[in-house]
Chain A
Amino acid sequence: MNNLLNPHEWVTAHADYLYAYAKSRINDEELAKDLVQDTFLAALQKTGSFEGRSSERTWLTAILKNKIVDVYRKNSSGLKSMEIKVAEEEQREFFDKDTGHWLKEYGPKEIGIEDKDHIVSREFEQVLKNCLQKLPVLWKAVFTMKHIDEEASDNICAELKVSPANFWVIIHRAKLNLRACLQKNWI
């Protein structure tokens, strides 16, 4: 066994952290638990590759992160086209077909979040969470990875297999629908 690692203490030292990490990214408690377990078991198989250049926690988190990306990829492959079509259809109505100008009905209105120092209430946070859940899986995955981990766009493209051009379209489309959803459900 690699003596830089101490698997006897893994659960005590890292399990809660890894669980919170997974849960915040996939929003499914049971699956998050499974991933934590898979992470520890996978880590045991490759203790030889740990060189102590990062902390034990960072190393375990990287393994977990790969597993989360696998989940994103798997979830977004199946129903992909249908789900995205519906979401795209929704935002086609936002703009005038010929000029691209906002249609009045859908145009942005102030909803109390525009001020830099506005305070986010519990209720608003819940609306935001619900709106995030409504995004197509692939869009949500791209958006989540970009925002939480502030990961380089190139990495996200490679990991989720989207082209760089498509990446920005997805970020934008996710934002359009998210914003519209907030405006609709908050006012």
Chain B
Amino acid sequence: MNYLKKIIHNCKKATYLIDKKEMGSISLREHIELRIHLIGCSFCRIYGKQSRAINKMVQELFRSAMQPGIKLDDDFKKGLQDKIEEELNK
């Protein structure tokens, strides 16, 4: 298989480059290879869109988990403060 054919067929490598590019950086050569691959590969074009969407959704998921709604119950908090006071008085 010649070099260009390898790039065109290799979705395994292309998806790796997509994910790495999204959160880090890839080399110039990798950029070019990825471009060439994406022209001919509709699977990987969808993969790229979904990869970005997933990053965003995961970040959103954790952000929403930090909303003020999540609270400890009062008994636990009281016990916790008691323990702290106990330590302070040692």
A residues lining the B interface (CB < 8 Å): 1, 7-8, 10-12, 15-16, 19-21, 23-25, 33, 36-37, 40-41, 44, 94-96, 99-102, 107-111, 113-114, 118, 120, 125, 128-129, 132, 143-144, 146-148, 153, 168-169, 171-172, 175-176, 178-179, 182
**Is B29 close to A, CB under 8 A?**
no
A40 touches B84 (CB 8 A): yes
A128 touches B57 (CB 8 A): yes
Contact of A99 among B10, B54, B81, B88 (CB under 8 A): B10
Known pairs A8-B85, A100-B12, A147-B59; A23 contacts B70 (CB<8 A)? yes
Contact of A172 among B19, B85, B87 (CB under 8 A): B19
Interface of B, helix, strand, loop or mixed by DSSP? helix
Known pairs A114-B50, A132-B58, A178-B54; A23 contacts B19 (CB<8 A)? no
Set of chain A residues within 8 Å of B35, measured between Cβ atoms: none
- Give the nearest-CB partner of A143 in chain B: B58
Additional 20 contacts, C-beta under 8 A, given A40-B84, A100-B11, A128-B61: A7-B84, A12-B81, A15-B72, A19-B71, A20-B67, A33-B72, A41-B84, A44-B84, A96-B9, A100-B10, A100-B13, A102-B44, A108-B43, A114-B50, A114-B53, A120-B57, A128-B58, A129-B61, A168-B16, A172-B20
Set of chain A residues within 8 Å of B65, measured between Cβ atoms: 20, 23-24
Set of chain A residues within 8 Å of B10, measured between Cβ atoms: 99-101
Query: How near does chain B come to A20, taking the closest CB pair, in angstroms?
Result: 4
Contact of B88 among A1, A102, A128, A148 (CB under 8 A): A1
B70 touches A107 (CB 8 A): no
Known pairs A10-B81, A10-B84; A146 contacts B43 (CB<8 A)? no
Set of chain B residues within 8 Å of A37, measured between Cβ atoms: 80, 83
A179 touches B84 (CB 8 A): no
Set of chain A residues within 8 Å of B12, measured between Cβ atoms: 94-95, 100
A153 to B24, CA, bound (A): 8
- Give the nearest-CB partner of B17 in chain A: A172
B50 touches A101 (CB 8 A): no
A148 touches B59 (CB 8 A): yes
Query: How near does chain A come to B39, taking the closest CB pair, in angstroms?
Result: 15
B46 touches A171 (CB 8 A): no
